[in-house]
Amino acid sequence: RCGLIAIVGQPNVGKSTLMNALVGQKISITSKKAQTTRHRITGVRTVDEAQFVFVDTPGFQMKHATALNRTLNRTVQSTLGDVDIVLFLVEAGRFSPADAKVLALMPAHKPVVLIANKLDNIHRRADLLPWLQQMQQRHAFAEFVPMSATKRADVDRLFGILKPYL
Ligand code: GDP
Ligand code: MG
C-alpha cells in the first residue's frame, strides 16, 4: 500500500519538524522564521510494507497578499488536489482566524487529520478537552492527534493512525 500525505498549516506550527521526524532525516528546513519552506518538499518512509509519501508545504501567509505569498498558497492548493490524506497542523489549544482560513481550503472528500502539535506546551491535558470539542465542530476531522513533533514516540504512533487511510 502507498499513499500521498500533505502536511499543511500556518507558518511556525511545526510542519517541517514533523516532516523530518516522519521521514527520519533532515530534509526540510525548520526555523522560527516564517516562510523557510518555499517549495514542496517530499519524503518517503516505508513502515511494515506501507509506503508513506509526505509533502511539506510552504506555510500559508494570509495577512499580507504579496506575490510570493500568493504563489505559496497556490502551491499548497495544487498539492491538496493530489493527496490521499491531509495532516492539518495547529498548535494545541490554539485556533486563529488565519488557521480558519487554511481549514476552509481543506478538500471535502478526503480525510483531514487534525494534528494538535506542541502538546508539550500544554501543562494540564484536561485543559485541551474543551478546545478539542470546539475543533470537532469546525470540521469533520478523520482523526484528532494531540502530539509533539519533537517526540519520537508520538511520531511513531502517528504512522499507526495513518496506516488505515492508505
Ligand atoms: P513550520 O513553519 O510549520 O514548518 O514550523 P517548523 O517545523 O519550522 O517549527 C517552528 C518552530 O516550532 C521551531 O522552533 C520548532 O523547533 C518548534 N516546534 C516544532 N514542533 C514542536 C513541538 O512539538 N514542541 C515544541 N515545543 N516546539 C516545536
Ligand atoms: Mg516549514
CA–CA dist 153, 104 (Å, integer): 30
Q: What is the pLDDT of residues 14-64, one digit of tens each?
A: 998 998 899 886 655 555 554 445 556 678 888 888 899 888 776 555 455
**Phi and psi torsions of 73, nearest 5°:** -65, -35
Ligand 1 atom, smallest distance to 121 CA: 26
- Looking at the DSSP assignment, which residues form a beta bridge with residue 6? 55, 86
CA 33 and chain centroid, separation: 17
Measured from CB, residues less than 6 Å from any atom of ligand 1 are 9, 11-17, 30-32, 36-37, 59, 117-118, 120-121, 148-150
Give the number of the ligand closest to the Cα of residue 20: 1
SS3 92: coil
Cα 31 to middle of ligand 1, angstroms: 7
Q: What is the pLDDT of residues 90-138, one digit of tens each?
A: 999 999 998 998 898 888 889 999 999 999 999 998 989 999 999 999 9
Cα 73 to middle of ligand 2, angstroms: 14
What's the full length of the chain, in residues?
166
Mean pLDDT of 135-150: 97
Quote ipTM for the complex: 0.99
Instruction: Could you list the residues known to form a binding site for GTP, using ranges.
Output: 9-16, 56-60, 117-120
Res 151: pLDDT: 97
Residue 103's H or E segment, with its range, is helix 97-103
The set of cell numbers assigned to 30 is: 525548520
Q: What is the pLDDT of residues 68-103, one digit of tens each?
A: 566 666 666 677 777 899 999 999 999 999 899 889
Give the number of the ligand closest to the Cα of residue 61: 1
Indicate the number of domains in the chain.
Answer: 1
pTM for the predicted model, two decimal places: 0.86
Q: What is the pLDDT of residues 153-164, one digit of tens each?
A: 999 999 999 999
Residue whose CA is at the smallest distance from ligand 1 atom 26: 118
Which residue range(s) make up the domain with 136? 2-165
- Strand ranges (E), the chain: 2-9, 41-47, 50-56, 85-91, 112-117, 143-146
Cα 41 to middle of ligand 2, angstroms: 10
**pLDDT, greater one: 61 or 140:** 140
CA–CA dist 42, 107 (Å, integer): 20
Res 108: pLDDT: 82
- CATH for 62: 3.40.50.300
